[in-house]
C-alpha cells in the first residue's frame, strides 16, 4: 500500500513538474493547482470523455530519462490508487482528489 502511494506521488510529481515549469517560478496557489490538475486531466483524457482510461494514462508522456518499465509499473499502480471507485477509469473528481505531494525532505 505504501509503495502504491509513493508511486502516485511520483507520478503526480512528474506530471506537475512539467506544468510548473511551463508556468514559471511563482509558487502556485491551491486554485492554480486545481486549474493545473484540470488542464493535466484534459491533456491525458485524449478522447475528452471526461475520464482517463488505463490506455490514456499509459499514453501520457514520461520524462525521457525515465526507465520505461519502471514508469509503466508506476502508472499501473498509480492508476489503481487514483481510481477510488475501481470502475476502471479516472474521473476528474478522482483526479482532483489526489493529494499534492508533500514537500520532499
Ligand atoms: Ca478518456
Ligand atoms: Ca473511477
CA distance 48 to 32: 21
Least reliable range by pLDDT among 15-24, 49-58, 63-72, 75-84: 15-24
For the ranges 13-22, 35-44, 93-102, the one whose mean pLDDT is highest: 35-44
| Positions of E strands within 1-105 | 51-53, 89-91
Least reliable range by pLDDT among 21-30, 39-48, 54-63: 21-30
> Rounded to a whole number, what is the distance in angstroms from the first to the last CA of the chain?
21
Q: Say how many Å lie between the CA of residue 22 and the centre of ligand 1.
A: 24
CA distance 70 to 82: 18
Q: Say how many Å lie between the CA of residue 25 and the centre of ligand 2.
A: 33
- The structural domain count of the chain equals 1
For the ranges 15-29, 57-71, 72-86, the one whose mean pLDDT is highest: 72-86
Q: Say how many Å lie between the CA of residue 43 and the centre of ligand 1.
A: 10
- Residue position matching grid coordinates 505504501: 2
Answer whether residue 72 is part of any domain: yes
Name the closest ligand to CA 92.
2
* 10 pLDDT more than 90: no
Name the closest ligand to CA 51.
1
Q: Say how many Å lie between the CA of residue 103 and the centre of ligand 1.
A: 30
Give the confidence band of 104 by pLDDT, cuts at 50, 70, 90: low
Q: State which residues form the domain around 23.
A: 2-96
* 78 pLDDT more than 70: yes
Answer whether residue 105 is part of any domain: no
CATH code (residue 68): 1.10.238.10
Amino acid at each position: 500500500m505504501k509503495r502504491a502511494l509513493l508511486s502516485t506521488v511520483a507520478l503526480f510529481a512528474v506530471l506537475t513538474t512539467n506544468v510548473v515549469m511551463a508556468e514559471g517560478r511563482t509558487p502556485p496557489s491551491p486554485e492554480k493547482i486545481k486549474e493545473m490538475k484540470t488542464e493535466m486531466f484534459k491533456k491525458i483524457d485524449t478522447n475528452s470523455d471526461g475520464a482517463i482510461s488505463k490506455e490514456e494514462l499509459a499514453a501520457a508522456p514520461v520524462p525521457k530519462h525515465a526507465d520505461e518499465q519502471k514508469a509503466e509499473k508506476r502508472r499501473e499502480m498509480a492508476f489503481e490508487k487514483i481510481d477510488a471507485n475501481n470502475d476502471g477509469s479516472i474521473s476528474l473528481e478522482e483526479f482532483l482528489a489526489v493529494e499534492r505531494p508533500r514537500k520532499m525532505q
